[in-house]
Structure 1
Amino acid sequence: MPSSFTLIFMLFFFLESLVAMLQNGFMVTVLGREWARSRSLPIGDMIVTCLAASRFCLHGMSILNNLLTFFDFYPQINSFNIVWDFTNTLTFWLTACLALFYCVKISSFSHPIFFWLKWRISRSMPRLLLGSLIISSLGMTSSIVGNLFILQITALQTSCENDTLADRLLATHRLIFLPHLVLILSVPFLFFLVSILLLMFSLLRHLGQMRDCQQGHRDPSTLAHSMALKSLAFFLVFYTSYFVSIVLAIMKIITFRNDWHWAWEVLTYTGICLHSSILVLSSPKLRKALIMRFWKPC
Structure 2
Amino acid sequence: MPSALTLIFMVLFCLVSLASMLQNGFMIIVLAREWMRNGALPAADMIVVSLAFSRFCLHGIAILANLLASFDFCYQANIVGILWDFNNTLIFWLTACLAIFYCVKISSFSHPVLFWLKWRISRSVPRLLLGSLIMGGLSAILSATGNVIATQMIISQGFYENCTFGHMILDFYRYYYLSHAMLMWFTPFFLFLVSLIFLMFSLYRHVGKMRDHRPGPCDPRIQAHSMALKSLTFFFIFYILFFLSLIISSTKNKATESYWYWAREVMIYLGISLNSITLVLSNPKLRKALKMRL
**Contact persistence 2:2–2:257 (CA under 8 A):** no
Partner of 1:108: 108
TM-score by length of 2: 0.86
Contact 2:231 2:282 in 1 (8 A): no
CA 1:75–1:102: 2 relative to 1, 3 Å: same
The 2-side partners of 1:225 and 1:177 are apart by: 38
Number of residue-to-residue matches in the alignment: 293
| Maintained 8 Å contact 1:248/1:254 | no
RMSD over aligned CA atoms reads 2.9
Q: Percent identity?
A: 56
CA distance in 1, matches of 2:232, 2:175: 35
Contact preservation (8 Å) 2:227, 2:282: no
Deviates more, 1:217-226 or 1:15-24: 217-226
CA distance in 2, matches of 1:9, 1:21: 18
Between the aligned partners of 2:157 and 2:255, the Cα distance in structure 1 is 20
- For 1:146, give the aligned amino acid: G
8 Å contact kept, 1:90–1:132: yes
Task: Note if contact 2:231-2:279 (Cα within 8 Å) is conserved in structure 1.
Answer: no
Structure 1's unaligned 5+ residue stretches are none
Contact 2:238/2:272 (8 A) holds in 1: yes
Residue matched to 1:61: 61
1-side partners of 2:122 and 2:133: how far apart?
A: 18
Q: 1:15 to 1:177 in 2, by over 3 A?
A: closer
Q: Partner of 1:272 in structure 2?
A: 272
Q: What SS class does the counterpart of residue 72 from structure 2 fall into?
A: coil
Alignment map for 1:174-193 (pairs within 5 Å): 174-193=174-193
**Does the 8 Å CA contact 2:54/2:91 hold for their aligned counterparts?**
yes
Are the structure 2 counterparts of residues 6 and 75 from structure 1 closer, same or farther at C-alpha, using a change threshold of 3 Å? Answer: same
Q: 1:157 to 1:269 in 2, by over 3 A?
A: farther
- TM-score, normalised via structure 1 length: 0.85
Q: Secondary structure at the match of 1:67?
A: helix
Distance 2:148 2:66 in 1: 20
User: What are structure 2's unaligned runs of at least 5 residues?
Assistant: none
Alignment of 1:15-164 (within 5 A): 15-153=15-153, 155=155, 160-161=160-161
1:6 is aligned to 6
- CA spacing shift, 1:124–1:218, aligned 2, 3 Å: closer
Residue aligning to 2:234: 234
SS in 2 for 1:108: coil
Alpha-carbon distance change, 35 to 154 in structure 1, aligned in 2, over 3 angstroms: farther
Q: CA deviation at 1:256?
A: 8.1
CA contact 1:182–1:250 (8 Å) conserved in 2: no
Partner SS state of residue 160, structure 1: helix
